Chain A
Amino acid sequence: MRSEWTKFRSVRSTMWSMATVVVVMVGFSILNSKISLDMIDKEPLGDPAALSMAGAQFATLVVAALGVLVISGEYRTGMIRTSLLAVPRRGRMLAAKVIVFTLAVLALMLVTTLVSFFAGQLVLGEHGVALTEGDSLRIVLGSALYITATGLFGLAVGTVIRHTAGGIVAITVLLLILPQLATVLPGEAGAQVMKYITSTAGMRIMSPASDALLPPWTGFGVYLLWVAAAMALALTLLRRRDA
């Protein structure tokens, strides 16, 4: 685990992605709150907590890409063989990666979402909310949880695909395109299926409640099942394939 942490922190891509995420989250929060505040006469403000999480969608993609990179970078350079020589039990290697990634990203995202929240509320001033008010806490924590889970989704997909560009395309399809496709499914059955698709379900945790979709925690639970399924596939293939 310490070894995986060293690997994680010692390459530039990690630091760059992390910095991007922080800047994007906080920046979008301030920007979005400002814009909404300026337009408050023309349209209602919406949920103030959700407004300050405006950067989450973008941050999600960056973290997903980072998840892919953590493993695909090893395949690109051949480092994976060196890693597996040091830790030949492949399940252990993957587990160490997952734990380090989860702890590092979750810690950073908790801080980032909180900073984003307070920055956004500062801009909104009297229109803002307190953390304890309404769904705010759930939305703020939920954003950190969703982004972290998505990073793990990326890590699993990267392990399956073993290729940086391919992995990023695959995770983008799963997060953005698949939910879009699901919305055109016909009829009541289609609407039901749509609710359970990857990001549609997962993003409930960081959005205001909606009757048309799953409840927040149910949605996130469904999303975790997607991630778990991808991770199970990743583990099976990692064990079976030649490195």
Chain B
Amino acid sequence: MITAEDLTKRYRSTLAVDGLSFTVESGRVTGFLGPNGAGKSTTMRMMLGLDRPTGGVARIDGVPYAELRHPLRKVGALLDAKAVHGGRTARDHLLQLAQSNGLPASRVGEVLEKVGLTEVARRRVGGFSLGMAQRLGIAGALLGDPEILIFDEPVNGLDPEGILWIRTLMRGLAAEGRTVFVSSHLMSEMAQTADHLIVIGRGRLIADTTVSEFISRSAQRYVRVRSPQLRSLAALLNGAATGLSGDHLRVPGRTTEEIGEAAAAAGIPLHELTMVEPSLESAYMELTQDSVEYTAVAS
């Protein structure tokens, strides 16, 4: 379990993380979501004792990370896959990590096997592709067989096969009862991996909820209707519809049956009648709209 209490980080004039409090529970994948620059990486670095919080505290099972005796046995983290010395071989890199936490050297072979890097174990890391570096980073995170795993944007820059592999791995780790905390700025990715969501924007907590609750709470379903007689249809629906100026109407709060039957009774032909389920993506966009730090200016 990871807890953040009133976590705050200020860099000179900018407040990167602003009083964040939340709990990451075990046995599920918790997605940590926010636009670029929202403070996700900073929060994770503070959890891992790399950055010093300006205020507040983050704890791993009640203890600050820096006070863990053998942290790799408790927490496995992948922040930046390229944060390795390129001149070292994959094996030496992992061996050195294992030794620092009193882990047997045999673990190195085991995790290399698990991530599928056994064949390149004696190659220098500098020549690895991003996908291979990512696997090496994950091997490092799994080295101490930790209960808690923290991944920062693990699928960034990966090919579809790599993405699928990581997604399956994370689901598997959570199914084993571990705590998995993974950040992303991609809602669609989280929709397929996470059980629970913590959404932040501009360093503040926007939502801390399950994925399904997040959708139903933040965006409404609606019925999309096209008809050659849009105006009469809109009048028939008594102002429940929006989007009259376009080529279709959006009708929230009605079912397709209700609208279809009403239109038939009034003799209005319909060209389309669709129930639109809001995607996690649109729910997310709606929520974070105000908190995007860098927005492209429409020309």
Interface residues of A (CB under 8 A from B): 2-4, 6-7, 10-13, 73-74, 77-89, 240, 242-243
Contacts and interface: CB of A to CB of B under 8 A. Distances in A.
A77 B100 contact: no
Question: Which of the four size classes fits the interface of chain B?
Answer: 20 to 34
Contact of B87 (A13, A80, A88): A13
7 contacts: A3-B97, A4-B100, A7-B96, A10-B93, A77-B85, A80-B83, A86-B71
Contacts of A82: 83-84, 97, 140
A242 B80 contact: no
Contact of A10 (B67, B79, B83, B96): B96
Interface stretch (B47-55, B170-178, B183-191, B267-275): B47-55
Contacts of B85: 7, 11, 73-74, 77, 79
Contacts, number: 83
Contacts of A85: 48-50, 71-72, 77, 79
Given A240-B52, A242-B50, 4 more contacts: A6-B96, A79-B85, A88-B67, A89-B66
Given A12-B87, A13-B87, A87-B100, A78 B50 contact: no
Contacts of A88: 48-49, 65-68, 71
Given A13-B87, A81-B83, A86 B65 contact: no
Contacts of A12: 87
A6 B91 CA distance: 11
Interface in B29-74: 45, 48-52, 65-68, 71-72
A242 B87 CA distance: 25
Contact of B100 (A3, A81, A243): A3
A79 B136 CA distance: 13
B99 A2 contact: yes
Contacts of A3: 96-100
Contacts of A78: 80, 82-84
Contacts of B95: 6
B291 interface: no
Contacts of A89: 66
Nearest to B96: A6
B44 to A, nearest CB: 11
Contacts of B71: 85-88
B86 interface: yes
A86 B72 contact: yes
A242 B42 CA distance: 10
B114 interface: no
A12 B72 CA distance: 27
Ranked nearest first, the 10 interchain pairs of A and B with the lowest CB-CB distance are A78-B83, A3-B100, A3-B99, A10-B92, A6-B96, A88-B66, A242-B51, A11-B87, A86-B100, A243-B50
A158 to B, nearest CB: 14
B88 interface: yes
B138 to A, nearest CB: 13
A78 B82 CA distance: 7
A83 B100 CA distance: 9
A7 B93 CA distance: 8
A86 B49 CA distance: 11
